[in-house]
Structure formats: structure tokens, C-alpha cells
Amino acid sequence: MVPSANNGRSIIVLVGPTASGKTSIALEIAGLLSAEIISADSRQVYKLLDVGTAKPSLGQQKGIPHHFVDALSPDEDFSAGTFGILGRKLIDEVFARGKVPLVVGGSGLYVRSLIDGFADAPEGDSAFRSEMESRLQSEGVGPLIDALREVDPMMAENIDITKPRRIIRALEVYRLTGAPLSELQKGSVEISFDAKMFGLHWDRSELYKRIEHRCDCMIAEGLLEEAEGLRKRGLTPATNALNTVGYAEAFRFLNGEVSHEEFVRLFKQNSRRYAKRQLTWFRADKRIRWIEMSESRQPMDVAKEIVQLLKQTTH
């Protein structure tokens, strides 16, 4: 990151694990501050993925502008690096409209790309990627993460092993450049704003209860029917947009690989594990100010606390 004169421009970043209440609190903050919401969610950016991403409906959005929501088809590629580039341009536009950019999401890599910047990585090597995809299918993810550990131990330590295509991309970048992706991501990108970061902290047992309740709600609201509709469009978990918790388990059930009971168990288990990985990522960022959460706290109360803390940091 290369800071530049920010001219007093500050964005708000609200992060937290899945089911922590980010959406409802962000809406209240946006109403208080006349903000526009920039979604840092790697899945809400896709159309047709509604139930399984807990995407706010148009009614729930309360007329507040939401960016990077329902922007792409599920078969389109989108990366953290692209999000960072487009997101910084959007932030300039939001400031130009006299509004406050409010970044909200649980995708830590997307947040980092936006506020810290990635150096440009090369375009892909399709032959190498096909070779790695074949290894993934025949040998599993283990040998790929071992190969990455040899050339880029920092990336291997932090990468989400449930996203094997990220591992393949990191190997691909090293093959093309001879440089670890973790080093390239430290490259020079001009950042023309300050980021005021807040995270939502829940007691672990309470968070897991919320996650399991959300899973039950998603199933009741039609997650399996949504997945079946996607399957009828020819989409599979091999599609990057669907290689994620919720859809992956739903497709296993629809394909007859697991029972309904096992689908529910895996969905909840993998959602909890995903939240744990999110927390590990965010806790490593010392810029985040954590807000204590409980079921008794209303979204507006939390929003007002964050706004008050913002005032304290800007005076």
C-alpha cells in the first residue's frame, strides 16, 4: 500500500463472521450517515444466489444504494484483485456524490484488496491450470497445498484450503512470475482514503447458535429449490460462484450423495468452520475495533455506537 493525501476522506469498513448481523447494522449506519453500501462479499455479487448468500432483498435495502450485489452471472469470473480496483474507483464516485462509502462484508481477502491493494498479477496460464485441475480431481487438495508451501509458505499458511482454485491461482502466479503471490500482494497501490474498521464480536457459542438458526432459515426459505434451479441452468459446484458453503452441500444432496439429515449436518458444520476461518483472518488485523454483540442489542443501538466512535476518531 502506498498512502496518498486522503484530504480527510474516510471510509467505514464493517466486518464480521457469517450471521453476525452485519447487514441490518450496516443499513442503520447508512441511514444515519447518508452512506452508500459497498458489499465485500464474494458471493452476493452474483445474480440468482439469493437464499444461500443471505442477500438483502430490494425491500430490505430500504432504498439505500448497494454496490457489488446482483452484478454478475454465476458463470462469470470475479476476483479479489478486480474487486479492489473497481471498488476504489467506486469509492471516489461515492465521495464525489457527497456520500459516505460503507464497506460491509465477511470476505477478508476482498476487504484487504480494497483498502490495502494488490499488485497486478499476470493473466492465467490455461494449460497449467488444466493440469492442476486434473491433479485436484485425481489426488485431492493435499499435494497442491504441499506444492504451494514449497514456493509460497506465507500464502499456504493463510489460504482457505476449501477454495482449491485459489491454491491453483497462487501456484500459477508463481509459475508465471517466479515470485510468491504473497509478495506480489504487497505491491504498490495508491490508497487515497483512510479506513475506519469495525468488527462485530460475539461469544462463540452464541454465534454458533445464530449460524445454525440461519442455516435452518435458509433451508426453510428454499435453499435446496434455489440450488435445483441453478442445476437446471447447467451450473455445478465446479462453477466458482457455487464452490461455497451452502450450495456445495445442497448439490451433494440433490445428486444423491448424502441424505437430507447429512446435508443439514454438513451445512451447519461447514458454516461454523467458515465463521472460524473468518474470525482468524479478521483478528489478525489490528486496525479493527471490535464491538461487543449480544442478542439483546438492537441494530440501531450498535449503529449509533459505531457512529459515536467515528466521531471520536475524527476529532
Residue range 2-118+187-313, CATH number: 3.40.50.300
Q: What is the pLDDT of residue 20?
A: 98
Q: What is the pLDDT of residue 6?
A: 64
In sequence order, which residues have a C-beta less than 8 Å from that of residue 126 and are 6 or more positions away? none
Give the count of alpha carbons within 13 A of 258, CB side only.
14
pLDDT in tens, 12-69: 999 999 999 999 999 999 999 999 999 999 999 999 999 999 999 889 898 999 999 9
Q: Kindly report the three-state secondary structure assignment for every residue of 213-229.
A: HHHHHHHHCCHHHHHHH
Top CATH class of 126-184 equals mainly alpha
DSSP string, 240-254: GGGSSTTHHHHHHHH
**Separation between Cα atoms, residue 79 and residue 1, nearest integer Å:** 18
**Separation between Cα atoms, residue 73 and residue 45, nearest integer Å:** 9
Q: Mark the ranges of the chain whose per-residue pLDDT is less than 70.
A: 1-7, 119-123, 187-188, 314-315
Burial annotation 248-271 (CB, 10 A radius, 16+ → b, else e): bbbbbbeeeeeeeeebbebbbebb
Pick the closest to residue 171 from 182, 112, 277 (CA basis): 182
The CA-based angle 66-208-17, given to 5 degrees, is 35
Indicate the domain borders of the chain.
Answer: 2-118+187-313, 126-184
